[in-house]
Copies of this chain bind each other. A is one copy, B any other.
């Protein structure tokens, strides 16, 4: 919870199959009142599977909500109570038939911070072995493609990759590897500060 903020009331406005809508009344630090409407759903995962030849696995599938085929890293929602890392390994195996000896967290991100209490965990998987996938009926249109990491980076910039988790995960992977620039990953140099606005 944010320092000094309090929840005055929280009401569940709608309960669906996989999503819940809440409306909260809040009191801010300055005592002003506000209302926030947001959804809650399970956390999600997205995994960059990078093979020994510098290629990553992308799955292309029909995404009804967007009305398009989208090209994405394997991933999906966590099962209730499932650890995100376990979900990442499960989705990688189910959607792409991939097992990885090494899986590391790239970052955690908020998909829609103003409207959805849903976190996305992004992983980088290496030391891969590829077997048979186990897709469910709704994933029948899914196709697996192997793309060089540098090409995937280009696809993030030209509209061929448009899914938020995949964009962030591919670009972060490029930053962590030689595909970025051959330099080691940037070392943080900015101390966290809480001063008021600083203008140029």
Interface residues of A (CB under 8 A from B): 1-2, 5, 13-14, 16-19, 21, 23-24, 26, 28-30, 32, 34-39, 41, 51, 53, 55, 60, 62-70, 72, 76-77, 106-118, 120, 130, 133, 137-138, 140-141, 143-148, 150-151, 153-160, 162-165, 167-168, 171-172, 175-176, 180-183, 185-190, 192-200
Contact (Cβ within 8 A) B24 A55: no
Tell whether A115 pairs with B5 under 8 Å between CB atoms, given A109-B164, A157-B186.
no
Contact (Cβ within 8 A) A164 B110: yes
Which one of B106, B158, B197 contacts A188 once the chains associate, using CB atoms below 8 Å?
Answer: B158
> In the assembled complex, how far is the CB of residue A119 from the closest CB belonging to chain B, in whole angstroms?
8
Contact (Cβ within 8 A) B107 A112: no
Contact (Cβ within 8 A) B199 A144: yes
- List residues of chain B with CB within 8 A of the CB of A144: 197-199
Q: How far is the CA of A32 from the CA of B64 in the complex (A)?
A: 14
Quick one: closest B residue to A197, CB to CB?
B144
Which one of B76, B114, B168 contacts A114 once the chains associate, using CB atoms below 8 Å?
Answer: B76
Contact (Cβ within 8 A) A110 B70: yes
